[in-house]
Amino acid sequence: MSQAAQRRNKLRSQLKKQGLDSILVTDVRNVSYLSGFSGDSSYLFITAKNTIIISDFRYLQEIADECSDIDSVIRSSTDSMIKVSAKLIRKSGVSNVALEGDSLPLAIAEAIHTKMPKVDFVTTSSIVEKLREIKSRSEVALIRKAVYAAQRAFGVITSSLTKDQTEKEIAFNLEHQIRQFGGRGTSFDPIVAVGSQAALPHATPGNQTIADADFVLIDWGADYDCYLSDITRTMVTGKVTAKYRKVYNTVLQAQQRAIKRIKPGAIMSKIDAAARGHIANAGYGKYFGHSLGHGIGTYIHESPRLAENQHIPLQRGMVVTVEPGIYLPGWGGVRIEDDVLVTRNGHEVLTNLPKKLEECILEV
C-alpha cells in the first residue's frame, strides 16, 4: 500500500468518527498529500471505498504516473470543476460531504450545494492538516534537503557579502543560490532587513545597503520538492554595541530554553512561555509580540503552533520552528530561528548554522 493510500485510510477513520460519508479535498497541497499528484487545479473526492481525482487534459500523464492506484475523472474544457464535482457527488449516493472550510471559497461551496440541495455539506476545519502535523520519515528527509539547500545558499551569501549590497540584492541572490543547491526556489519571499528595518518582523527588502547599519536580519528558507525550511539569523556587519549584545544574547538564551523543552508530550504553551518569560524578565516582554513558532511542511505556516493559547502536547514526528525575537522601533530587531524535529525521546535541531554572537560577526 502506498504512503498516500495509508494517509487516505487515516482520513477515512477521522471522517467515520465524525459521521461523515465523504470529503471533497480542494486544497492543492492536501490533494498532493493524499494522492501523490504533483499538478494543480484538481480536486480529490474520497468516500468510504473510493478515491477519485478530478482533473483535466493537461495532467493525464501525471495522473497515470503518480497516482495510478486511484480513479480519475477528466473534465472537458467546457465543464467547470463545480459541475463535474456535483455530478460525481450525486452519482456516489453519499448523504453528506465534508468540505475544506479553511481553503474552499464560500462562493464555490455555495455553488456546489445549490446543485445538490438534498446532500448535506459539512464545513470542516483542518481535518487533513491535523494528519499532516506528523511527518513521515520520507517527509522529514525532504525537509532535511530543504534545510541543506537553504544553509548552503546562506553560506555563499554571507561569505561574499559587501557593504554596497542592498536588501533586495541579497534576497534575489538567496533564491539563485538555493536553486544552485537543488532547491526549487525559496519557501517564501526572503526577509532581509538592515538596522532599524529589522524592527519590522516581516520587513520587505528595500534599497538599504549593508553599510547603512551595524547588523542585518535575514529570514529565508528553501523549497525542496514542495517541502520547506524556515531559518532566521541576525548577523553583525559593523560594530557590536552593548545594547546589541544584550538584545542578541537575550533572544539566543530564550530560544535555547525553549528548544531544551521540546519532546513528545511537552505542552506547546509551556514551551512558548519558557522563551517569552525569559525575554520578559530581561525587560523586553512587550517587544516580542508573535508566537514562538509554527509547524512547517508543504506550507511554510502549518499546525501545530508554539503559542500562548496552545495547551496541547507535541507529538513525535512534528517539525516546528522556534523563533523568538525582540523588535525595538527605531533601533532594529533580533530574531533567531531554527527548525526542530520532535523525536522519540526528545528533539533534533535540523538546522545547524552557527548562532552564538561571536560566530555571527561578518567581515565586510
Least confident of 109-118, 182-191, 254-263, 350-359: 109-118
**pLDDT on residue 155:** 98
Q: Quote the pLDDT of residue 252.
A: 98
pLDDT one-digit tens code per residue, 87-99: 999 999 999 999 9
Beta carbons of 44 and 73 less than 8 angstroms apart: no
Phi, psi at 228, each rounded to 5°: -120, 155
Name the percent of the chain lying above pLDDT 90: 97
Check whether 228 has a pLDDT greater than 90: yes
Contact 339, 170 (CB under 8 A): no
Residue 242 has pLDDT above 90, yes or no: yes
**Domain range 137-360, CATH class:** alpha beta
> 248 pLDDT exceeds 90?
yes
- What is the pLDDT at residue 264? 98
Cα–Cα distance measured from residue 259 to residue 241, given in angstroms and rounded to the nearest whole number: 27
- Identity of the amino acid at 173: N
Average pLDDT over residues 224-234: 98
Percentage with pLDDT > 70 across the chain = 100
pLDDT band at 200 (very low <50, low <70, confident <90, very high): very high
Domain ranges of the chain: 3-131, 137-360
Bridge-partner residues for 122, per DSSP? 98
Mean pLDDT of 317-342: 98
Q: Which of 28-32, 100-104, 138-142, 147-151 has the lowest mean pLDDT?
A: 100-104
Lowest mean pLDDT of 107-121, 189-203, 220-234, 310-324, name the range: 107-121
Examine the pLDDT at 1 and tell me if it is beyond 90: no
Q: Do domains 3-131 and 137-360 have the same CATH topology?
A: no
Task: Read off the pLDDT of residues 207-222 as tens digits, 9 standing for 90 and up.
Answer: 999 999 999 999 999 9
pTM of the model as a whole:
0.95
> φ, ψ for residue 274 (rounded to 5)?
-60, -40
Q: Residue 348's pLDDT is what?
A: 98
Give tens-digit pLDDT for 278-314. Answer: 999 999 999 999 999 999 999 999 999 999 999 999 9
CA-wise closest residue to 304 among 289, 290, 316, 319: 319
The chain-wide mean pLDDT, for the chain, equals 97
Mean pLDDT, to the nearest integer, of 63-92?
A: 95
Task: Count other Cβ atoms within 10 Å, centred on residue 115.
Answer: 14
Asked if residue 3 has pLDDT above 90, the reply is: yes
> Best-predicted range by mean pLDDT among 104-113, 117-126, 343-352?
343-352
Residue range 3-131 forms a domain whose CATH class is alpha beta
The three cell numbers locating residue 313? 502536547
For 281, other C-beta atoms within 10 Å of its C-beta total 11
Query: Average pLDDT for residues 68-90, to the nearest whole number?
Result: 95
Neighbours of 128 (CB within 10 A): 25
CA distance 67 to 81: 20
Residue 113: pLDDT band with limits 50, 70, 90: confident
DSSP alpha helices (H): ranges in the chain? 3-17, 28-35, 60-66, 81-92, 106-115, 127-132, 137-159, 167-180, 242-260, 268-281
- Please report which confidence band the pLDDT of residue 230 belongs to, taking 50, 70 and 90 as the band edges: very high
